[in-house]
Each structure stands twice: as structure tokens, then as C-alpha cells.
Structure 1
Amino acid sequence: MTARCLMVWGTSSGAGKSWLATALCRWYARQGLRVAPFKAQNMSNNARVVATPEGGEGEIGAAQYFQALAAGVEPDVRMNPLLLKPEADTRSQVVLLGRVDAELTALRWRERSPRVWPVVRQALDELRAEHDLIVMEGAGSPAEINLQDTDIVNLAPVRHAQARALLVADIDRGGAFAHLYGTWALLPADLRGALRGFVLNKFRGDAALLEPAPQRLQALTGVPTLATLPLRWGHGLPEEDGVFDDRATRGGGPVRSTVAVVAYPRISNLDEFQPLKNAAGVRLVWARTPADCAGADWIILPGSKATAADLAWLRAQGLDAAIAAHAARGGAVLGICGGLQMLGEALIDPHGVDGNAPGLGLLPLVTAFERDKTVRRSAATFAALPPGPWAGLGGVRVRGYEIHHGRTVPHPALVARGEIAHEVLPGLAWCNAAGNVLGLYLHGLFEDEAALRALLGARARPLADVFDDLAGLVEAHFAPGVLAALAGP
């Protein structure tokens, strides 16, 4: 059987494509269909480690990882065959079927599409052969007329699969009807018939006030507005881009702990902090200045796609001094992946992977960048930690994933002087003697229920509940029978 395909386009980035595709994956799976997500090309530094068809492991965008979980299927690299990980404003690392492709990374943007489309098309065809429905997600807008001749994420998959499409607009930003009409008008003529409905997302207020705009839009385009979805702060699903305003970063109840996450320019894997946003009593702050760290119980240095450059940015903001002062007072500091590397004494780059730099010196470690990237799922048990804010992790078995260049070891000269970092996860995590500075390579610590309970006495909201709520939201706001018809013959 060849699966039917439903594409979720957006009028812009941030319109709500990812969460709507996730909700649809869940809703259709609850109807008994075998559903899989698909995004031909994703640009994001939020990535997850998943299986490859050959039995190995590779990277895909985090959004497709969560969409697969919502659909109740095992995530694999075919669901996001091409992943672009920005390293600078004009440069991205290219990941094809889960693995870094240096040759494609070196190519110009427009030269990549004809090279990768056969691989993307095969991944889609394989998924269609194994499922009843593919929920596709576009990127940006399908009306980027400067890119239409090389578009392999919005246009080519719809043509190839003869997919039906929805178009989502963020009405909270204003101009939604103009965005919808303009996008429809700029679509290639042969794809306008694929567009079956408009969706207004993030609406606040009385939907009756929208009249007669939906009717006038349909008169102009022939396309009905199928749903007006309410603005839902704190819906519990990690957002594609990770950083939110403060309204979405409190799990409810009185604040007992404030966590400041340093938001440097090439920050990565922010989706792993969603459990902190969902946890009652926790306030999450995105720290870009020393003032943002004031009053924080924890300061977290998250992953980075450009560790040396982000470390230089951190110093330019004066955040290095703020972090050092916090640690000197006994405050909790956590470095994850690139953040761990920053906490050490030095970054050494013999192969030109990332850059050389002095570290923050809060852990007696040194990192040497290697040519090959480590990409794997991992599980390990914490050894006993020194008394301090991280001591509760002792004896806790955690599961997560690694995505990093580089190998971190104790600094030989500092070891000779008696400065020791306690290795509390073999090859993965180290803690200082005072017990308040912890660095680890393992992503996903706060997604582990035992770890979250040990550190905060909190329980993360189960993802299954988040997915079910999203499915219920679309069911309540699409007219009866519409969703079934979109996936029907």
C-alpha cells in the first residue's frame, strides 16, 4: 500500500507548523492509522539521535522526533532525511540520512537540491510503503519565490506524493489574512489545487469577530478556512526554536527554583529543557546578560553548535564573570555538551573543527576537538557525587543521547597540582570537588523522570498527555469529518 500524504505548510516560520503536524500525527494515530511524520529538510540545532535503517544511529530534527512519538512509531532518519545545522550566519553543517556529509556542506545552497532530492524522495517512498498516512511538514513558507526552483521541502514532496495541504498562519502577529492570500497567490499554479484549507493559529478572543473575512478569503481563493485554533501558552511540547518569552516558562504554582539557561547565539538542543518549563515551582529564564542570572538557583550552559564562538560571545556580555561569581558563592552550575567544554580550562582544535579558546576554568578539564562527530544514544549510572546541589543524582541511572565533536579529559598539569574533577559518569560527566559545578555530555537529563525527581522533587508531565491534549485541541476546532476527509480517498 502507498500511504496518502497531508502537508502542513505555514505562511512563515513560527506560524505553528510543527505543533499542528504533531497534533495531526496523534489524532490520526488514534483513529487506528499507521502514521509517520516527514520533513524533507529541516534547519535547526535542536536534534535527536535515532535509528538508521541499517541499524546504526544518526541525527534528525527534534520536531520530527516528537512527531514520531506522537504517532506511536519509532523515529528514524528517513523522517527528516536532510538536516541543516547552522554554524554561522552563512554556513550550516549538512546532515544527510543522519550523518554529516562534508561534501554537501561545502556546496553552495542552490547546488545541493539536485544532489539530495533523489535521497529525499527515496526516504519518502519507503515511509509511504510502510504506513497508511504521512503527515508532512513544510519549512518557512511555500511562497518563497526566490527558492521555488530548488525547493525540496515544500513543493517537490507535494508534487511527488500528490499530497493535500493545509496552510497555517499566526493570527496573533497580525496580518494573517494578507499572509494567507499572498501565499496562495504566490504558489505555483499547479499546486494551488493541493491546498485544501486555511488554518488560523494562536487566536485570542471571540472567533465571531473574524467575520466576514474567512468568507471573503474563500471567495478570492476558493479555499475554505477549516479551523481557528486558540492561543495555547505552555502546551507542553518543545518548540522548534526553543526560546520563548517568560509566559511559557513556568510550570505553575509558587516559584521554588529559578533556572537561568545561557542563551548564546548558536545554542542547541533547547528542547531538552521542556520538562523544566512544565515542572511546577520552576521558573526558567533565558540569560543573555549578567542581570538575567541575578537570583538564579542554577545557571545552565547548554549545548552549542559553535562552542568557541559562543564562548567568546559569553565573555563579551560579561556572563563569564557572573557565572564565576555564582559558582564562587556555591551556586549550582551545569554545563551540557558544549557547555561542559566551556567549563574546562581550554578548547584545543588541531583539525579546524570549531576553534581554540581558553575555557572558564571551573572544571580542571581540557577538550580536544576531533574530526568525527559522536552521535549515539547512551545510558549510565551516576557514581556518588560530592555534597552539593547535584548530590541527589548519585546512584541514578539515566538515559539520553550524545551529539558532539571532541573528547574531554582531566587537564594533566592541574591533575599534577592536585586539582581533581570527579568523573561521575564514565567518560560523560565530571563534578568539581566542591560539588556545585557539574559538566556532562549526555543530553536529556531533565527528560529522565528519576533525575528530575532527584534534583527538584518534580515530575515531568508525560509526553503522552501532551500529545493527547494537542490531538483533542484540533479535534475540537476542526468541523466534524474534516480531518477524516483530508486523509481519505
Structure 2
Amino acid sequence: MAKYIMFQGTSSHVGKSILTAAFCRTFARKGCKVVPFKAQNMALNSFVTPDGGEMGRAQVAQAEAAMLVPETDMNPVLLKPVGNSRSQVIIRGVPVGTMSASEYHLSYSVKAFEAVKEALQRLDEEYELIVLEGAGSPAEVNLKDTDIVNMRVAKYLNAPVFLVADIDRGGSLAALVGTLELLEPEERDLVKGLIINKFRGDPHLFEPAVTFLEEKTGKPVIGVMPYIDDLGIDEEDSVSLAEKPLRPEEADIKIGVLLTPRISNFTDFDALASERDVSLYYVKDAAALAEADVLILPGSKNTTEDLLYLRRSGLEEAVKSVQRRGIPIVGICGGYQMLGRSLADPHRVESDRELVQGMGLLPMETVFTGTKLTAQVCCACNGLDVFGQKITVTRMLGYEIHMGQTTFTDDVMLVFELTERKGRPCNEIVGAASVNAMIFGTYVHGLFDNDEFRNAFLNALRRHKGLAPLTNRGNYRQKKDECYDRLADLTEASLDMDAVYAVLGEQSS
């Protein structure tokens, strides 16, 4: 039987996911069989497991920190917003329908909790420690009756809780005191300590506040975590996009990513952002495209609505202006579909529009089907031409998450081809480039995580700009692993780990 420790927050985006990852790496490198768990995640950033299940990216990062292969038991319920207060509901990696907020909370969430309990039972049998993450705040009184991710989980497991507040956004003391006041007595009893996160400056100056909190709440403050620049770890959802740059910084290569209302899987570009010669930024207005060396159209949970947003806002015309200037344009998944001539939705999968014209930058048509394809894949890049420099990579890993089937209506360069899907041989085109090779796209997520492709692409851009290629960029996955170790080191140095071990020691084995 496993032991438990849980992180809940005073609100969303206070650092619960990062602390969960930190504890996973801390205990994993001590030889403990540790696993992350989040009962219910609401996010547009998702990942596909080896068996084809879909789960939240935050739990994937936490699994990496724990040195594990991600599995859907780590995140048995995933909600993917599709707009108009509706979300696609995914249970153990498989979509079960699209529901309004009221439909889900009033009639389905308690049923979904059965999947939560089943996943916990399986993990409990296999692991020594389960590091649990809550969502939002446990004190949302309007949601508590149907909550399946915060105190319902803590009470079900009798799990000790550490309550986390983000001091960088202000009001952290009031948030901690207020959250505890709104909890029921048995819920407050489960809270074993408080954590102040994202502190800038000298933590000794915060000591009077620590004393106040401990006296006011009767709960120990087990530590003050510093604000960490360049964390280098996948972020959970679009809340973190508010902190992304909207204009390029000075760099050899400037890459703009269109920021659409339903952007998904923006972690596709973290590997690019990690490069020292790259400034990656997010584009909300046409003026921000003036300095871009590359423009990327990202994935989308609702390709049709995001395309219409680009059309209404004038950004579609700005994209075409970029194309006329000879700037490379890259589309990933939904962004790739937008580059085509049309998007057909005969079954009204995405919207009530049966047909929408695409941007017309690639000669292809996409039809949405009612079946979502989710799979880990291996693909090849066959001679992609970037400013006259051929890129050929025989083995690249990634994953597919899409509901569209794309056919070509004129000549294209068939540059991305699957060689494996779910570990089985496959021969299927999953991406193409325009005849002049200035526009290309693919259904494969994680394209730029592949070192050989990313390095070749960036060095082609450097040569085009008259810059010498870089030969020592390093291994992206190794960089991420070093980030998990750095995070664990900071956590052990900043928190009272003896207090944590004491809490764990109080649980029966």
C-alpha cells in the first residue's frame, strides 16, 4: 500500500504542478517508487501514451520527473474546453462525449470519480508513494459538492495536504488564511502545512509573515520556494500563456507563434524556446509579425473557430502577407489544417458550419470525422527544403491527436511520412510542403523535440541569414532532465524536508 502526499492551491497557477514534479524527482532519485496523480485536469495541452490514451501534459512532465513512462492512470479524467462553456470529457484516455459545465458537474462528475478510484487502486498496488495534485482551489464553495480533484480525493485517501500560495501575484497571506477558513473542520485537519511559492528577494525578510501565518492558522509554514527563471518544464495550460512574450527579444532567430483563443499543445515549441539563439514569442496582432523569421500556426482544440477568429481579426491576411515576403510558415496539426483550401465538417464535430474556406496556402482539403486519432508515432522527414537546404531525418518521435482526414488537390512535396504508429509499421503521409517549400505542416506533435530535425531547421535559417551554424545545441531531453534535478535541488534546499518526512512517517505502511 502506497503512502500519499497532496498539493492543493489557493487558486490556479500557483505552482502545484511544479511542486508535484519536484517531489516526484526528489523521491525518485532516492530510490523510491513514486508516481504523480491528478484526478481531473482541465487543459488543452495533452499528450498521447504508448497505448493511445490521452492525458494532460502536466502529468507527463511529472512522470518524466519520476523517471516513468506516462500512463492515463496518472490523470484518469481530462477535460478539454471546446468553447461556449463546453468540454470534451476524456476518461482513462478515451473521449466519452462533449458536455456543458452544468451537465458535467451536476450529472457526470461523481460517475467520473469511479474512474478516479479505480486508477488510484491500481497505482496503490504498484507504487510506494503517490504525489497528488489538486486543481484550482479547494474552497470554491459552488463546486465542492461535485469536486472530484481536491478534498474529495484527500478525504477518500486520508491524504496529508500542503496548501500552496503564489506570492508573486500578491495577496498570498489572505489567500491562505481565507482558504483555510472556508474549509470544513475535517478538511482543515488534513492540511499539514503551508508553502509560499515564487518568492523574489531575500526570504529572511518574509520571516514576520511566516510567524503571522503560523500563529493565525495553527499550520506550519514548511518553506518558501524562490521564483525560478527559465524553469524549462512543460506548463499545464493556457493560463501560463499570459506570461509568454508577445514581442521578440534580441536574438539571431525570431519565431512567432499565432496566439488563437483555442490554442492547444503549445508545449510543441518549448524546445525551440530553449535554444540560446532563438526568441520565441506569441502573436496577437499583425504588427508583431514584422520581425519574425518564421511563423508557426499551432494546434487548436477547435480549428474552425480559431480560423474564423484569425479571419475576423485580420491576422489571416497578415499571415498571407508574411507568405508574400518569403518568410517560412509552419503549421502543426490544427494549424496545418488551416493552411489548406477547405475544412469540411459534415457531422458538425467542431461547429455548426458544414464547410469553411481555409487560407489556401497549401493545396489540400480536410474533412473532420467523428473519431479522434490518438497515437504515438515514428516518422521521417524526406528532403524538406528550407531556403535551398535539404533536411532529411529518418527517425523522429512524436504523437498524433486529431479528428481530420486530409487529401491533396494539387502538387505538393510529401515530406513527412509515418514509419510506425503505436509501435507497428505504417506508411502514411502526415505532412506536406508547398512546391516552393516555404510553407509546410504536419499532424505530428513534438516535431521540434527531435534534436536532429530542430538543429537542421534552425541552422538552415541561420545560413539563410548569413550566420554560422551552431553545432553544440545539446540534447533537449537531457536539458529537461537537468531542469528536473535543478528543481528538486531547490525544493530540498527551500522546504523543511524533515517536516515532510515526518508527515509521511505518520501514515501506516
Shift of the 370–247 alpha-carbon distance from structure 1 to 2, 3 Å rule, reads closer
Pairing 1:15–2:14 present: yes
Where does residue 402 of structure 2 map in the other structure?
404
CA contact (8 A) 2:87 2:98 kept: no
Where does residue 424 of structure 1 map in the other structure?
416
Pairing 1:437–2:431 present: no
Shift of the 223–446 alpha-carbon distance from structure 1 to 2, 3 Å rule, reads same
Alignment of 1:142-291 (within 5 A): 142-241=138-237, 242-246=240-244, 255-291=251-287
Shift of the 370–218 alpha-carbon distance from structure 1 to 2, 3 Å rule, reads same
Structure 1 position 388, deviation (Å):
2.6
CA contact (8 A) 2:393 2:452 kept: no
Equivalent AA in structure 1 for residue 241 of structure 2:
V
Alignment size in residue pairs: 475
CA contact (8 A) 2:399 2:445 kept: yes
Structure 1 position 245, deviation (Å):
3.1
CA contact (8 A) 2:38 2:133 kept: yes
Shift of the 267–473 alpha-carbon distance from structure 1 to 2, 3 Å rule, reads same
SS in 2 for 1:462: helix
SS in 1 for 2:482: helix
Where does residue 73 of structure 1 map in the other structure?
68
Per-residue CA distance 1:348-392 (angstroms, 9 max, x = gap): 011110243110011001000011000000101111223537x55
Alignment of 1:63-102 (within 5 A): 63-102=58-97
> Structure 1 CA distance, aligned partners of 2:399 and 2:47?
7
Q: TM-score, normalised by structure 1?
A: 0.93
Where does residue 335 of structure 2 map in the other structure?
339
Question: Aligned-pair RMSD on alpha carbons?
Answer: 1.9
Where does residue 4 of structure 1 map in the other structure?
3
SS in 2 for 1:142: coil
337-346 vs 379-388, which moves further:
379-388
Structure 1 position 329, deviation (Å):
1.9
SS in 2 for 1:8: strand
CA contact (8 A) 2:87 2:99 kept: no
Match of 2:494 among 456, 467, 477: 477
Where does residue 34 of structure 1 map in the other structure?
33
SS in 2 for 1:325: helix
SS in 2 for 1:101: strand
- Identity among equivalent positions (%) equals 40
CA contact (8 A) 1:384 1:424 kept: no
Per-residue CA distance 1:131-161 (angstroms, 9 max, x = gap): 0000011000011111111111001111111
Structure 1 position 213, deviation (Å):
1.9
Where does residue 449 of structure 1 map in the other structure?
451
SS in 2 for 1:153: coil
> Structure 1 CA distance, aligned partners of 2:98 and 2:399?
26
Gaps of 5+ in 1: none
Equivalent AA in structure 1 for residue 392 of structure 2:
G
> Structure 2 CA distance, aligned partners of 1:387 and 1:205?
45
Q: TM-score, normalised by structure 2?
A: 0.90
> Structure 2 CA distance, aligned partners of 1:202 and 1:132?
29
CA contact (8 A) 1:233 1:248 kept: no
Structure 1 position 427, deviation (Å):
2.0
CA contact (8 A) 1:46 1:270 kept: yes
Per-residue CA distance 1:394-433 (angstroms, 9 max, x = gap): 234211000001101102xxx2xxx435343242110001
394-403 vs 124-133, which moves further:
394-403
Structure 1 position 452, deviation (Å):
1.5
> Structure 2 CA distance, aligned partners of 1:151 and 1:431?
46
SS in 2 for 1:326: helix
Gaps of 5+ in 2: 418-427, 460-472
> Structure 2 CA distance, aligned partners of 1:420 and 1:271?
28
Equivalent AA in structure 2 for residue 90 of structure 1:
S
CA contact (8 A) 2:245 2:281 kept: no
Where does residue 376 of structure 1 map in the other structure?
375
Pairing 1:48–2:58 present: no
